[in-house]
Chains A and B, each alone.
Chain A
Amino acid sequence: MQSSSLILSMTIWVPILAGVLTLFLNSDQQKNAARWVALAGSLFGLAVAIPLWMNFDNSTAAMQFVERTSWVSRFNINYALGVDGISMLFVLLNSFTTVLVVIAAWEVIQEKVSQYLAAFLIMSGLINGVFSATDAILFYLFFEAMLIPMFLIIGVWGGPNRVYAAVKFFLYTLLGSLLMLAAFIYLYNVTNGSFDISDFHRVALSQDVQIMLFLAFFASFAVKVPMWPVHTWLPDAHVEAPTGGSVILAAITLKIGAYGFLRFNLPIAPDASHALAGFMITLSLIAVVYIGFVALAQADMKKLVAYSSISHMGFVTLGFFIFNVQGMEGGLVQMISHGFISAAMFLCIGVLYDRVHSREISAYGGVVNTMPKFAFFAVFFGMANAGLPATSGFVGEFMVILGAIKVNFWYAFLAATTLILGAAYTLWMVKRVIFGEVANDNVRTLTDINGREMLFLSVLVAAVLVMGIYPQPVTEVMHVSVDALLKHVAAGKLN
């Protein structure tokens, strides 16, 4: 364990302070200033997160970069931070994605620029807090506070049906998280007054209590992932959110749900996790197969990618609940890979939407004729989303299928259908939008991507390729933590 440092606090508070600063640049003349401050803030936020990667110790499952200060002594709540091999990568992923979102908003957002950028920066800090909190109430605080900027992002800058989507998003998530809060308070009483997550991991619990706690956490995280059948907020929220909002939702906030399963459900209720594994696997496979078919039927590009996200996240939860190393690491790799790919898909849709103001697949056709450079990126990310080998999309799916086949052939078989379904819905969309004859005058007058768009799409291409060809550095980071978690879950808590 390393000595105390302020790296994690910096990753949380640098973006938040930059966001607050941006908020003050709210007049029309200051639009550019707000953009530059936000960009500087997000880059600085990424820079302070880099040492996490450089100084990370791969050989221990303990929390690293820990910070701990008493916060509310009345309830023994601490400002306690730390990351292990599971959470560290997500802090990096989030800090990285925030930079992309700021760049992607540059000329696109013209109304209330400072508020828009501030909301994203503040949310970025809060998300880093979610991944690094080791105190349950601190976790809850970040987890809930994150809803406020997201609610405003969808509601203020979203599409025509934004109010409905924003309220639905908020209430769905709130219901789940309040049940989680009740579970936290219960555990606080059981552990004789501690909100420390590691104490929750250790305390012995009976099977019935574990099942109740599992379900309370499930209510919170299944909504966030989202798992079938509580996924219905996601297509609405995705479709109505502005591009940046969709990127953050898909790339980061969905991961928080899956992360919650690893941090809370599995270690706090290991026996209940085993007992309910069949249930979880069933829901995951329904998400993979059924939602895959639903995606096939979409006429709206964003909706299609939203359903594809649900289907891919089904893979992640499947990987977690088959309880072996390949499955769990595969799930984690899939989470990171999906972070890159879904961000890229939404950014590509954003590029088209900014020019034509339509998300309908039928509004396009033959885009390759007017936007050849863009077509390259769109086809590449489409392939990655379909899980083409040598892209990051392939690695995670392959590992999960490999893990599943050890448990049950049919799990693996059903999961593998995603390779066909994913290819079908993604490539069919790419074909209809990019290739063919020029469909209409809108497409004929399209201009190809500019340097700014080229920049963020190229960065993502590099990330997807590196992860796809050489994923080992990433799996090495998580390996020890995943092993320790699986041992803990196998040991159980009934004694």
Chain B
Amino acid sequence: MPPVIIPVMNFALAAPEIFLLIMTCIIMLVDLYSAEENREGRLYFLSLFTLIVTAIMLCMQVSAAGDSAGIGFAFNRMFIIDGMSVLLRIAITLSVAMVIVYSRAYLAARKLFSGEFILLILFATLGMMVMVSANHFVSLYLGLELLALSSYAMVALNRDSVTSSEAAMKYFILGALASGLLLYGLSMIYGATGSLDVTTVAKIIEGSRANDPLITFGLVFVVAGLSFKLGVVPFHMWIPDVYHGAPTAMTLFIGSAPKIAAFGFIMRILADSMGGAVGDWQNLLIIMAVLSLALGNIVAIAQTNLKRMLAYSTISHMGFLLLGILSGTKSGYSSAMFYILSYTMMTMAGFAMIMLLSRTGFEADRLEDLKGLNQRSPWYAFLMLMVMFSMAGIPPLLGFWAKLAVLEAALNAGYTWLVVFAVLMSVIGAFYYLRIIKLMYFDAPLDASPIIATAGFRGLLAVNAFGLLALGLFPGALMTACLNAIQRSL
């Protein structure tokens, strides 16, 4: 009789995910059994409680996780806890919590702050957490689809809106296509290596099989699928439409935490499992980085809708992110990680500002809606000023350090021309960020209505925007955290 192999489960390592799942189910029940008048408050506080407790549990993993190298496996090596997964999951849970705080008033005014929204966003969070800590192609895909399906539904949540439905449809069809490409590529890699386990695949590719045409072929499909999730040219078509069409709260969500998850996902597949074939995917990423930087920055100039403009700005930021990844070194990966975390902070504050200016039945998503903000409220104008200069990469704000880090990584890898190109493109990018500041500071307001926000919203926005300045003055701790996280990874 063959020996029975009992898989190593290590449930304890997945405790944050398990807690999140249980709480999500409890919230589903609370939603069912709550009276109309106190439902919103209960959902709000329970979901925030869940996310913050999850984040605290993750923080405890920073010191306690795994073996001496800080790496632990669970569920028969399908799930991995390492420096990167811990840091990224903390960032994901915190940014989702921020999304909930930011969007409460906006969604409540549109009667969208319902149990469905909370459930979808929490399941999406679970999916993202699985994505960044999966060590197996199947669990990676599982996490990805959990996120993707929740996001499609979230974009479509405002079902009376034609633009939202259209955006959701586009997102769904193109997303499904990308998932298909990804699976197709992964199946070829499985064919070439005979394994779906990230560590095993990495070993085989690093061995003699790096030049196997089957692997290269599969890699192209994998990169295409990943680029779609990240939204880099030429797989960017969905970004402007979805950003524009979705309710702003959903745009805020799609633009923030899922980008962190997509970064972790790319790291798991490209760096962890296909590190041996770095020469192959590097060239693909260079082309995509160049195209994203160019298209994102140039097309953003022509936009009159703030959400669309930020969508194109996202594309260009992802181009910068690729500069860090394509350098193929640990220092480059940590720069990219720093970039994605900085980007998330900036973009959340940007979309939060759009929600702040919106009122019931009125979306403040045109550029003109920002006119004269300095006269309406010098405080909010100053916060937005910091966000825009940070996105443009002007010191002493956080965005500058993010750009510095990825440019250093790319230059260190020998891509001087790419750095010069990126620099020229960011001058073009500066133009449309400046235009926002021009509208806020130099023009007269079109609309003199007072800006109303809840204390939670105001406080969080101030912390978020001043965080850009504070981290811009003292970026050392976050940079070191990113470097340590990458060094304690596979």
Contacts and interface: CB of A to CB of B under 8 A. Distances in A.
Given A75-B479, A148-B394, 6 more contacts: A74-B483, A148-B389, A156-B441, A163-B442, A182-B416, A189-B411
A186 B410 CA distance: 10
Contacts of A174: 394, 427, 430
B25 interface: no
Contacts of A166: 438, 442
Interface in B468-484: 474-476, 479-480, 483
B476 A179 contact: no
Given A170-B430, A178-B426, A145 B394 contact: yes
Pick the most buried of B401, B420, B442: most chain A CB atoms within 10 A of its CB: B442
Contacts of B408: 75, 185, 188-189
Contact of B480 (A73, A137, A175, A188): A73
Contact of B423 (A148, A179, A188): A179
B423 A144 contact: no
B424 to A, nearest CB: 7
Closest 3 pairs between A and B when the two form their complex, measured CB to CB: A74-B479, A141-B395, A178-B423
Interface in A137-161: 137, 140-141, 144-145, 147-148, 151-152, 155-156
A145 B390 CA distance: 11
Contact of B407 (A71, A144, A170, A182): A182
B121 to A, nearest CB: 33
Given A74-B476, A181-B407, A185-B408, A140 B395 contact: yes
Interface of A: 26, 71-75, 115, 137, 140-141, 144-145, 147-148, 151-152, 155-156, 162-163, 166-167, 170-171, 174-175, 178-179, 181-182, 185-186, 188-189
A49 to B, nearest CB: 22
B434 interface: yes
A144 B395 contact: yes
Nearest to B426: A178
A163 B438 contact: yes
Given A152-B441, A155-B438, A189-B411, A178 B427 contact: yes
Contact of A171 (B431, B479, B483): B431
Contacts of A148: 385, 389, 394
A186 B396 contact: no
A185 B404 contact: yes
Contacts of B190: none
Contacts of A188: 408
A185 B438 contact: no
B44 interface: no
Interface string B388-427: 0100001110001100110110011000100110011011
B437 interface: yes
A185 B412 CA distance: 9
Contact of A189 (B400, B412, B420): B412
A189 B480 CA distance: 19
Interface of B: 374, 378, 385, 389, 394-396, 400-401, 404-405, 407-408, 411-412, 416, 419-420, 423-424, 426-427, 430-431, 434-435, 437-438, 441-442, 474-476, 479-480, 483
A191 to B, nearest CB: 13
Contacts of A141: 395-396, 400
B441 A155 contact: yes
B442 A155 contact: yes
A167 B431 contact: yes
Interface of B (DSSP majority class): helix
A137 B400 CA distance: 11
B420 A137 contact: no
B411 A182 contact: yes
17 contacts: A72-B475, A74-B476, A147-B394, A151-B437, A156-B442, A167-B431, A167-B435, A170-B430, A171-B430, A171-B431, A178-B427, A179-B423, A182-B411, A182-B419, A182-B423, A186-B416, A189-B411
B279 to A, nearest CB: 21
Contacts of B420: 179, 182
Contacts of A179: 420, 423
Contacts of B396: 141, 145
Contacts of B474: 71
Contacts of A185: 404, 407-408, 411, 419
A137 B472 CA distance: 13
Contacts of B412: 189
Contact of B438 (A144, A145, A167): A167
Nearest to A71: B476
Contacts of B424: 175, 178
Pick the most buried of B405, B416, B427, B483: most chain A CB atoms within 10 A of its CB: B427
B434 A151 contact: yes
B476 A72 contact: yes
B490 to A, nearest CB: 21
Contacts of A170: 430, 434
Nearest to B443: A163
A182 B411 CA distance: 8
Nearest to B425: A178
Nearest to B430: A174
Contacts of B438: 155, 163, 166-167
B434 A167 contact: yes
Nearest to B401: A72
Contacts of B394: 144-145, 147-148, 174
Contacts of B416: 182, 186
B326 to A, nearest CB: 16
B441 A137 contact: no
A356 to B, nearest CB: 25
Contacts of B405: 75
B289 to A, nearest CB: 16
B43 to A, nearest CB: 38
A166 B443 CA distance: 13
B404 A137 contact: yes
B411 A186 contact: yes
A73 B476 contact: yes
Contacts of B430: 170-171, 174
A4 to B, nearest CB: 21
Nearest to B416: A186
Contacts of A72: 401, 475-476, 479
Contacts of A155: 437-438, 441-442
B294 to A, nearest CB: 16
A392 B438 CA distance: 39
B2 to A, nearest CB: 51
